[in-house]
Amino acid sequence: MEIPILKSIVILFALAVVVVFISKRLRFPAMIGYLVTGVLAGPHGLGLVTNLHDIEVLAEIGIILLLFSIGIEFSLQKLMRIKLLVFGGGFFQVAVSVVVIYLISGWFGVSGSEAWFLGMLVALSSTALVLKVIQDNGTVDSPRGRTSLAMLIFQDLAIVPMILFLPMLAGTGSGSFADVMLLVLKMVAVVVVLFVGARKIVPYTLHQIARTQSNDLFLLTIIVIAFAVAWVTSLAGLSLALGAFMAGLIISESEFDEHALGNILPFISVFTSFFFISVGMMLDVSFLIANFPMVLLVTFIVLVVKTLAGSIPVVLLGFPLRVAVMTGLTISQIGEFSFILSKMGMKEGLLSAGNYQLFLSVSVLTMAVTPLLILKAHTLAGYVLKLPWPRQLKNGLKHQPDADNVDQPSDHLIVIGYGINGHNVAQAARQASIPFRIIEMNPETVKQESAKGVPIAFGDATQPGVLTHAGVMNARVLVVTIAHPNGIRIITNLARRMNPHLHIIIRTRFIADIKPLLQSGANEVIPEEFETSIEIFSRVLAHFDVEHERINELVRDIRADSYQILRN
């Protein structure tokens, strides 16, 4: 007996293997590969798959699992640490994007409700894509990484009220007082269920299941919770996506959240691939070719609007202009939740067929250029900084007073970046009574540590004025612990020019950075992976009773010539 959906799955996955493989070789994200797979297999491509309804059902499961995972990863504790960035910067970015796109859409002749809806679609960025790229680049813990993540968190939360607002925007809800009160009551009921479930029912249930030590039973329970909560909320007239998000929140409040996410991740990868493939199936290539100039124009407008909307709140929150521009470029694409919202909007009649195709075409292009924009963000931000901006704007609105107004330190240590490594270096300097200064680009960290009496200043160390304020001309040692490779190279070059006698020590994650940094003027470059290997190696030798002097000699040999032994 032939099973049509099985045939479709085999065709889609086989094609996806080839296309995603080619995408990865071309350094494009897998998401682009899935979209291209849908284009090729869909009715506007080769027509290999015809039962689109079955694929859409699998895509719905992918949406549920995707929002479920977001709910699990959402932590109120983590949120409170960057609450100003999330709720202040994130709200500003979404609001400005919606309003500006609404105005531009109106200028192009798009009607009121559809123009507002287009603004909502453009306001959302791709959390999955951005996090993957900045993780690969090692910039998650950089100022740009933190600000981008904060705005993405707000966008992931904003999808929930946007989904609830769709019926009112479409006019399918009457908008009467009774309807509004009914919606409020439903939300209150959902919150009550969420609170009771998170505090009482789910932790107890998962604890009892975990005691059986059956991973299969635990996984089955997690899936039941996800789909059951989504189903109940849909019965209440709310969306499946909202229910899935709520189910994830319930799990996140238990001690089993990480285990649950680890078990569900393979399913998320498989089913979300169906979602992106289904989106690709809707893309009409003939429309893209026929309207290519318009698609390029709208893509450019979207990238500019989102870059500005993402940059302005970062500047207003006190970060340097360089960080602001890099943040805006990082979140300038249209994201996966926009696809979810667009399909819902199509069902509500909020999006015309032509504008839907335009939206899909622009979304694919913005996602395709995102890895390149993130990779070159530092260079592009450098071009922006060459414009005649006010000095205070370049260095950050919370930048410390000019060096002329303060006493200059001398023969001291300067630490760039106050993460774990920077904090440990400062602690050691304090214990050894070595005078030091710290430069950090997170204003909240600067505020907290300054209150404790730590000699820390806010600023972008790629700017000469910031290094001058820290006394780089009179310093003995400079330690750079930030995560951004391009920023490290700029700081190294600048510091070496300002003080030829300065001893510069760089911490890096990447082997490829060792030689360029030494050529830029660094005295020592310490790669994290190699130092970890050396520490493990030393302890292994000690356990085999190798003499301490012989171990030190081997370690010196390994560190000689920039770890050339390990690099070979």
Q: Are 313 and 84 in contact (CB under 8 A)?
A: no
pLDDT in tens, the chain (568 residues): 567 788 888 999 899 999 999 988 887 777 788 888 988 988 888 888 877 778 878 888 887 887 787 777 765 566 666 778 888 899 999 999 999 999 999 898 887 888 999 999 999 998 777 877 776 666 766 778 888 888 988 887 788 788 778 877 877 655 556 666 776 777 677 667 766 766 678 788 888 888 887 888 888 888 888 888 888 777 766 667 777 877 887 787 777 777 777 778 777 778 878 877 887 887 788 888 899 999 999 999 999 999 999 999 999 888 888 889 999 999 999 987 888 888 888 888 888 888 888 998 898 888 878 888 888 888 888 888 888 888 777 777 765 444 334 455 778 999 999 988 888 889 888 888 889 999 988 777 888 888 888 898 888 888 887 888 888 988 999 999 887 778 888 899 999 999 998 999 998 877 777 888 888 889 888 887 677 777 787 888 887 778 888 888 887 777 766 666 665 5
Paired sense of beta strands 477-480 and 413-416, if any: parallel
Q: How many CB atoms lie within 10 A of CB 103?
A: 11
CA distances from 86 to 122, 132, 151, 153, 313 (A): 18, 20, 5, 7, 11
Q: Are 537 and 551 in contact (CB under 8 A)?
A: no
Q: Is 404 exposed, middle or buried (0-12, 13-18, 19+ CB in 10 A)?
A: exposed
Q: Is 534 exposed, middle or buried (0-12, 13-18, 19+ CB in 10 A)?
A: middle
pLDDT of residue 299: 94
Structure tokens at 92: 């500003």
Q: How many CB atoms lie within 10 A of CB 397?
A: 16
Hey, what domains does the chain have and what are their CATH numbers? 4-385 (1.20.1530.20), 400-522 (3.40.50.720)
CA distance 204 to 216: 18
Q: Are 418 and 429 in contact (CB under 8 A)?
A: no
Structure tokens at 409: 């330190």
Nearest to 138 by CA among 528, 550, 538: 528
pLDDT of residue 141: 66
Distance of CA 253 to the CA centre of its chain: 22
Give 431-436 contacts, CB < 8 A, sequence gap 24+: 435/409, 435/411, 436/412
Strands in 497-546 per DSSP E: 503-508, 524-527
Q: Are 312 and 96 in contact (CB under 8 A)?
A: yes
CA distance 239 to 236: 9
Strand order in the sheet with 477-480: 456-458, 436-440, 413-416, 477-480, 503-508, 524-527
pLDDT of residue 19: 92
Helix crossing, 177-196 with 240-252: angle to 10°? Answer: 30
CA distance 332 to 305: 8
Residue with the two structure tokens 């990447």 = 510
CA distance 277 to 38: 4
Q: What is the 3-state secondary structure (H, E, C) of 354-400?
A: HHHHHHHHHHHHHHHHHHHHHHCHHHHHHHHHCCCCCHHHHHCCCCC
CA distance 303 to 292: 16
pLDDT of residue 519: 86
pLDDT of residue 301: 95
Nearest to 92 by CA among 253, 321, 311: 311
pLDDT of residue 98: 94
Helices (H) and strands (E) in the chain, counts: 28, 6
CA distance 148 to 514: 28
